[in-house]
Amino acid sequence: MSQKIDWAKYVQQTEEKLSNISVNEKESEDATDTYSPAEASLFAKIIRKGLVDNKHDIDIQRNDPNSPLYSVKTFEALNLKPNLLKGVYEMGFNTPSKIQEAALPILLADPPQNLIAQSQSGTGKTAAFVLAMLSKVDTSKKYPQVLCLSPTYELAIQTGEAAAYMAKFCPEIEMKFGVRGEELPRGTQLTDHIIIGTPGKVLDWAFRYRVFDLSKISVFVLDEADVMIDQQGHQDQCIRIHKHLSPTCQMMFFSATYTERVMSFAEHIVKNPIIIRLKREEESLDNIAQYYVRCSSSEEKYAAVTNIYGTVGVGQAIIFCQTRKTASWLAGKLHQDGHAVAVLTGELAVEQRINVLDRFREGKEKVLITTNVLSRGIDVEQVTIVVNFDLPVDRDGEADCETYLHRIGRTGRFGKKGIAINLIDSDNAMRICETIEKHFGKTIKYLNTKDCDEIEKIGQ
Ligand SMILES: Nc1ncnc2c1ncn2[C@@H]1O[C@H](COP(=O)(O)OP(=O)(O)OP(=O)(O)O)[C@@H](O)[C@H]1O
């Protein structure tokens, strides 16, 4: 039986805690690295050329009414501004996905409706809220009206780039990145309509530099909303921002995952929300085949990675490590063995981080090794395999099912086929794997990476 929580007390306690927090605190984009004990997890994405071109599969999924990509309506039916519609088509989007079709009429409704939405990884949530953000701007007013928060620097940049692309034919809409490195002189008053950023920088701008007025924000978007309001995530900062918003501000919360506790907290802080929610068994996508591999040591895990890499004919790979140390170790070894690898962890300077990601997107590096800092939201279309070098665990060392889902969701984007491989090096890791399997009700099959034929089969 679930325990009843006194949310009013909970919020009050959070607010009391907030009075002791300095806005000068460490930037939040590092939080995934800093807060999560599962920082030490490995996320490997290995790209196999043969699996990349899967438009056909997308069409099949779209014809299936049970697919989250299924859509019957058109973007025209959403009554978007003509120049925005042009931008949508320019992005190559012909029909809205299921979440776009369901969320956009709610988000664009007059009077504004608050929304808490859940939809699987890679199903087009970003375009849904970005379109709503762009539609809601009143360009005759020269101040920030829309605020969109992301948990990491990379994700804020990715969302901003998607917004800029979509607003290609709306030059009157001005946007500003509120992320580390974007310095503003004291006394600046922002005239941009939209701020897309991370909570730490936005707090700094709102309270320390006062470059914009939070009470004038009329649309507030939380991407990866669950981690943003979870105690182990960015809750302190987000609640502080949320507290200063006008009561009439429209709230848009999006994520692929919400635990029960986080969902009831979201319902508590969002007034009269419309909720779009998935059943547990719908959370993980069927287009991502999941496997586990038994290994007895790090060295054996490394051998498994190279066997997969060699056999599946990998074009590119990203590897997610539990710790920065493991990431460096793995990168060094792969590098020694002649693989083109890149590493992205929270300790890099932000310009380096974005540079690494850009190079990977362009296919300049074969392997990208990272920590949980890249587990959410990052959209690299070509990724077809995710390898969890270690399974994600929470602070208590128990299975972190949400992080698992986000990690494997870096593959199988928008209906493409994907493969997730979990490297298991202990009985405890096996237990965690079984917990994850049970949680989502999806089989994680055994894979023998010493058997080349077997590995070859998974890529077919
Ligand atoms: N209607 C559409 N038609 C075609 N492609 C689309 C459409 N909507 C989104 N996409 C593409 O699908 C991909 C995944 O979308 P997006 O990144 O928004 O997923 P998401 O649901 O936010 O995933 P995550 O939970 O991982 O953040 C992107 O490359 C995006 O350009």
Distance 414 CA to ligand 1 centre (A): 6
Query: Which of 231, 252, 279 represents a domain boundary (last residue)?
Result: 279
Distance between CA atoms of residues 25 and 28, nearest Å: 8
Residue 67's pLDDT is 56
Kindly give the residue spans of alpha helices, DSSP state H, lying in 176-223: 199-203
Distance 380 CA to ligand 1 centre (A): 10
Distance between CA atoms of residues 43 and 66, nearest Å: 29
| Ligand 1 pocket, residues with Cβ under 6 angstroms | 93, 96-97, 100, 119, 121-127, 256, 377, 379, 381, 409, 413-414
Distance between CA atoms of residues 417 and 383, nearest Å: 9
Do residues 156 and 197 lie in contact, with contact meaning Cβ atoms separated by under 8 Å?
yes
Say yes or no: 287 and 275 in one domain.
no
Pairing of strands 219-223, 250-255: parallel
- Asked, for residue 2, whether it belongs to a domain, the answer is no
Query: Which of 227, 244, 279 represents a domain boundary (last residue)?
Result: 279
The enclosing domain of 189 has a CATH number of: 3.40.50.300
Range of the domain at 239: 7-19+26-279
- Asked, for residue 299, whether it belongs to a domain, the answer is yes
Select from 32, 125, 253 the residue to mutate for testing ligand 1; criterion: most ligand atoms less than 8 Å from CB: 125
Say yes or no: 234 and 340 in one domain.
no
- Closest atom of ligand 1 relative to the 92 alpha carbon: 4
- Closest atom of ligand 1 relative to the 155 alpha carbon: 27
- Asked, for residue 37, whether it belongs to a domain, the answer is yes
Say yes or no: 270 and 289 in one domain.
no
Say yes or no: 134 and 231 in one domain.
yes
pLDDT (tens place) for every residue of the chain, 460 residues total: 334 445 455 445 544 543 333 333 333 333 333 323 222 222 222 212 222 223 344 444 455 556 555 554 789 888 889 999 999 999 999 889 989 988 998 898 888 999 999 999 999 999 999 999 999 999 999 999 999 999 999 999 999 999 999 999 999 999 999 998 899 988 899 999 999 999 999 999 999 999 999 999 999 999 999 999 987 778 889 999 999 999 999 999 999 999 998 999 999 999 999 999 888 778 878 889 999 999 999 889 999 888 877 766 555 677 887 888 888 898 889 889 887 788 999 888 888 988 999 999 888 887 788 999 888 888 888 888 889 998 999 889 999 999 999 999 988 878 888 888 999 999 999 999 999 999 999 999 999 877 767 767 776 6
Say yes or no: 258 and 313 in one domain.
no
Say yes or no: 412 and 393 in one domain.
yes
R_g of the chain, CA atoms, integer Å: 21
Say yes or no: 269 and 304 in one domain.
no
Residue 427's pLDDT is 96
**Residue 161: enclosing H or E segment and its boundaries?**
helix 153-166
Residue 311's pLDDT is 65
State the pTM of this model: 0.81
Say yes or no: 259 and 332 in one domain.
no
Pairing of strands 274-276, 115-118: parallel
- Asked, for residue 1, whether it belongs to a domain, the answer is no
Could you identify the residue written with the tokens 């995710």?
386
Distance between CA atoms of residues 73 and 71, nearest Å: 6
Distance between CA atoms of residues 210 and 279, nearest Å: 42
Least Cα distance to 266 among 402, 143, 115 occurs for: 115
How many domains does the chain contain in total?
Answer: 2
Could you identify the residue written with the tokens 């901003």?
160
Say yes or no: 267 and 185 in one domain.
yes
Distance 331 CA to ligand 1 centre (A): 29
Do residues 391 and 41 lie in contact, with contact meaning Cβ atoms separated by under 8 Å?
yes
Residue 57's pLDDT is 45
Query: Which of 279, 314, 329 represents a domain boundary (last residue)?
Result: 279
- Asked, for residue 317, whether it belongs to a domain, the answer is yes
Distance between CA atoms of residues 142 and 212, nearest Å: 11
Least Cα distance to 166 among 266, 90, 75 occurs for: 90
Select from 43, 80, 414 the residue to mutate for testing ligand 1; criterion: most ligand atoms less than 8 Å from CB: 414
Alpha-carbon torsion angle 261, 323, 346, 389, nearest 10: -80
Say yes or no: 267 and 311 in one domain.
no
Q: Is 380 helix (H, G, I), strand (E, B) or coil?
A: coil
Say yes or no: 259 and 319 in one domain.
no
* Amino acid identity, position 191: T
Say yes or no: 107 and 172 in one domain.
yes
Interface confidence, given as ipTM, is: 0.98
- Asked, for residue 196, whether it belongs to a domain, the answer is yes
